[in-house]
Chains A and B, each alone.
Chain A
Amino acid sequence: MAAVIPLIQTRALTRQFGGLKAVDNVDFNLESGKIHAIIGPNGAGKTTFVSLLSGRLLPDSGTILFDGQDITTMPAHKRVQVGIAYTFQITSVFANLSVYDNVALPVQRRLLQRGRVDPGALHQSVFEVLDRVGMADHAHSKAGSLSYGHQRLLEVAMGLALQPRLLILDEPTQGLSDGEIDTFIELVREIARDATVLLIEHNMQVVMALADRITVMNNGKILAEGTPSEIRANAAVQEAYLGGGDV
């Protein structure tokens, strides 16, 4: 097998809270161009794990490589600049700003990285992103006045606007209606054409519909990893997670 460098590689990654090992000695590889889902019961350490990847938390020990580069101690904002975008589990759009401004923030940062922010280019890019998620009509509404589903969409739009190489979605469908979830699945598929997607998700229907690979976490460790059908067949997973009546 050819030695393809994984987009993300963690070695012995560990983070404790008090005495509790939220992430315990995790070795993890994320292949480029795939949709990869992390599942597991509440408190399994999923959010802590992706927080370590995005730089919101720093690990106690272990290393993280992004495209072969060591980013273990890189500050969060730099990680975003090299291409790791994180969308929040709890919707945290800027409620008092317009939808336009919410998307303009990531766009202008990206433009700034390449030099000056030209108002015309900014305007165009913002509407490209809004069109992609179907929210151009709402550009001048206050983000806080949107429906919950639209706020989740806006959250993803902000991630998209960064044009990341890796987009981390932390429970994006939580609280969405079935109809909204279908739209969402389509959107993530489309995003995955340009970017690698790492998805934390409780809804197994969404996971099975989207994921190329699945990692199961439990008690801060990786319990199993494989294709959706392998995970479905895995007895340990059945017991720890799928058998728990969640699905």
Chain B
Amino acid sequence: MTEVRSNATRIWLLHAAVIVLLLAGNFLLPEYHRGMFSRALVLATYAMGYNLLFGYTGLLSLGHAMFFAAGMYGAGLPVYHLGWDVPLVFATGIAAAGLLSLAVGVLALRTTGVAFMIVTMMFAQIFFLATLYFTTWTRGEEGLVLQPTTRAIEFAGNTISLSDPSTRYLVALTLFAIVLLVSLRLVKSSFGRTLVAIRENEERVRMLGYNVFATKLLAVVFSGLVCGAAGAAYGLLFGYVGSGFASSQYSILALLYVLLGGAATTLGPLVGTLFMFYVIDYTSGLTSAYLLLVGVVLIILILFFPKGLLGTIREKWLPWLP
């Protein structure tokens, strides 16, 4: 039992250390890299939401961009058109993603395997087309630019501007840290155990008395909420809301980050996102066709490293890694 205890301690220490290191990054990173990290932290949060469903529950969605974008539009549209406050629209963004994931989950979870992948891809495609179709409000591909004045929070007489680089980094980190700790808590809980068991053998879980459909639906909604929070934060922090974020490419990116970092590892999404950010940054001098790189990495991963970076490390050296 002492081994179990010390593992738990080790796990909390590791996650705390990661958060502290990232916090230090705000003061140590050069401006350019701090900007990169701000974006990567928000997208890593998105990937963590995806990981809950894909990594832990074993449901491979090809349409998560719709939840990210639902959060983004759910927050961005009321700011842009109605001038609502930042905290309020952050909530409406999350709510929009939650409702969408509930509706999509109820329908898509009637299918399994390949059909689930295609159905989620198609629902996301409909959402993407809708962002183009309702161009009066969304301005389609061109998108909406949220002015810095609309992206400020009045707090105790002070104005906190989300367009300030340091604030932006800290807000992104706060969101990331909260989601990281909540997911860690979740995957170590009874609910997390049930999700993993569903991934391993759904029929057996049903025969232990679980309502598998309801459990999976809960996982879809939870995943949708996290992705929506990331989408809302992305729009508010970087001041832009466009249909590109709803395109299939963003669904694939979530899959890529998670596969690369290691599916069903709590820190995998962060590792995968940062790794991919810097690979693309590094090669951007060589080719503008960065999607080529995405394609190559996807195939290499699926062929040779299906467990990803942290998944391989866990298998070989650190079996206690959550």
A contact residues vs B (CB 8 Å cutoff): 54, 56, 75-78, 80-81, 85-86, 88, 92-97, 101, 104-106, 108-110, 112-113, 117, 122, 140, 158, 162
Q: Which of A75, A117, A140, A162 is B208 in contact with, Cβ under 8 Å?
A: A162
Contact assessment for B194 and A105 in the assembled complex, using a CB-CB cutoff below 8 Å: yes
Residues of B contacting A: mostly: helix
Nearest CB on B from A169, distance (A): 13
Contact assessment for B208 and A56 in the assembled complex, using a CB-CB cutoff below 8 Å: no
Contact assessment for B204 and A162 in the assembled complex, using a CB-CB cutoff below 8 Å: no
- Apart from A77-B211, A105-B208, list 4 A-B contacts with CB within 8 A: A56-B207, A81-B209, A94-B200, A117-B190
Nearest CB on A from B204, distance (A): 5
Contact status of A94 and B207, CB under 8 A, knowing A105-B193, A112-B190, A117-B190:
no
Residues of A contacting B: mostly: helix
B197 at the interface (CB under 8 A from A): yes
Nearest CB on B from A58, distance (A): 14
Which residue on B lies nearest to A106, using beta carbons?
B208
Find the residue from B4, B194, B196, B204 having the highest chain A CB count within 10 A.
Answer: B204
Which residues does chain B contribute within 8 Å of A78, judged by CB atoms? Answer: 209
Q: Which of A75, A88, A112, A117 is B204 in contact with, Cβ under 8 Å?
A: A88
Which residues does chain B contribute within 8 Å of A54, judged by CB atoms? Answer: 207
Q: Please report the total number of B residues contacting A with Cβ < 8 Å.
A: 18
Contact assessment for A101 and B208 in the assembled complex, using a CB-CB cutoff below 8 Å: no
Find the residue from B197, B206, B208 having the highest chain A CB count within 10 A.
Answer: B208
Nearest CB on B from A99, distance (A): 13
B171 at the interface (CB under 8 A from A): no
Contact assessment for B205 and A105 in the assembled complex, using a CB-CB cutoff below 8 Å: yes
B212 at the interface (CB under 8 A from A): yes
Contact status of A109 and B201, CB under 8 A, knowing A97-B196, A117-B190:
no
Which residues does chain B contribute within 8 Å of A109, judged by CB atoms? Answer: 194, 208-210
C-alpha spacing A162/B206, complex, angstroms: 13
Which residues does chain B contribute within 8 Å of A88, judged by CB atoms? Answer: 204, 207
C-alpha spacing A36/B193, complex, angstroms: 34
C-alpha spacing A95/B203, complex, angstroms: 14
19 A–B contacts, CB within 8 A, in A order:
A76-B206, A77-B206, A77-B210, A78-B209, A81-B209, A85-B207, A88-B207, A92-B201, A94-B201, A95-B200, A96-B200, A97-B196, A104-B190, A105-B205, A105-B208, A106-B209, A112-B190, A122-B190, A162-B208
Nearest CB on B from A143, distance (A): 10
Which residues does chain A contribute within 8 Å of B4, judged by CB atoms? Answer: 140
Find the residue from A105, A106, A122 having the highest chain B CB count within 10 A.
Answer: A105
C-alpha spacing A86/B209, complex, angstroms: 10
Contact status of A94 and B210, CB under 8 A, knowing A105-B194, A105-B197:
no
Contact assessment for A92 and B193 in the assembled complex, using a CB-CB cutoff below 8 Å: no
Which residues of chain B from 193 to 243 have any CB-CB distance to chain A below 8 Å in the complex? 193-194, 196-197, 200-201, 203-212
Which residue on A lies nearest to B211, using beta carbons?
A77
Which residues does chain A contribute within 8 Å of B203, judged by CB atoms? Answer: 56, 92
C-alpha spacing A68/B297, complex, angstroms: 60
Contact assessment for A108 and B212 in the assembled complex, using a CB-CB cutoff below 8 Å: no
C-alpha spacing A63/B200, complex, angstroms: 33
Contact assessment for B197 and A94 in the assembled complex, using a CB-CB cutoff below 8 Å: yes
C-alpha spacing A112/B211, complex, angstroms: 12
Contact assessment for A162 and B209 in the assembled complex, using a CB-CB cutoff below 8 Å: yes
Which residue on A lies nearest to B199, using beta carbons?
A96
Which residue on B lies nearest to A75, using beta carbons?
B211
C-alpha spacing A105/B205, complex, angstroms: 8
C-alpha spacing A78/B193, complex, angstroms: 20
Which residues does chain B contribute within 8 Å of A96, judged by CB atoms? Answer: 200
Contact status of A97 and B200, CB under 8 A, knowing A77-B212, A105-B194, A108-B193:
yes
Contact assessment for B200 and A158 in the assembled complex, using a CB-CB cutoff below 8 Å: no
Contact assessment for A97 and B212 in the assembled complex, using a CB-CB cutoff below 8 Å: no
Which residues does chain A contribute within 8 Å of B201, judged by CB atoms? Answer: 92, 94
Which residues of chain B from 170 to 192 have any CB-CB distance to chain A below 8 Å in the complex? 190
Nearest CB on B from A24, distance (A): 25
Contact assessment for B209 and A104 in the assembled complex, using a CB-CB cutoff below 8 Å: no
Which residue on A lies nearest to B189, using beta carbons?
A117
Which residues does chain A contribute within 8 Å of B209, judged by CB atoms? Answer: 77-78, 80-81, 106, 109-110, 113, 162
Which residues does chain B contribute within 8 Å of A110, judged by CB atoms? Answer: 209
Which residues does chain A contribute within 8 Å of B197, judged by CB atoms? Answer: 94, 97, 101, 105
Which residue on B lies nearest to A101, using beta carbons?
B193
Which residues does chain A contribute within 8 Å of B194, judged by CB atoms? Answer: 105, 108-109
Which residues does chain A contribute within 8 Å of B207, judged by CB atoms? Answer: 54, 56, 76-77, 80, 85-86, 88
Which residue on B lies nearest to A96, using beta carbons?
B200
C-alpha spacing A60/B210, complex, angstroms: 24
Find the residue from A54, A97, A110 having the highest chain B CB count within 10 A.
Answer: A97
Nearest CB on A from B147, distance (A): 47
C-alpha spacing A160/B205, complex, angstroms: 15
Contact assessment for B208 and A158 in the assembled complex, using a CB-CB cutoff below 8 Å: yes
C-alpha spacing A56/B211, complex, angstroms: 13
C-alpha spacing A76/B190, complex, angstroms: 21
Nearest CB on A from B119, distance (A): 23
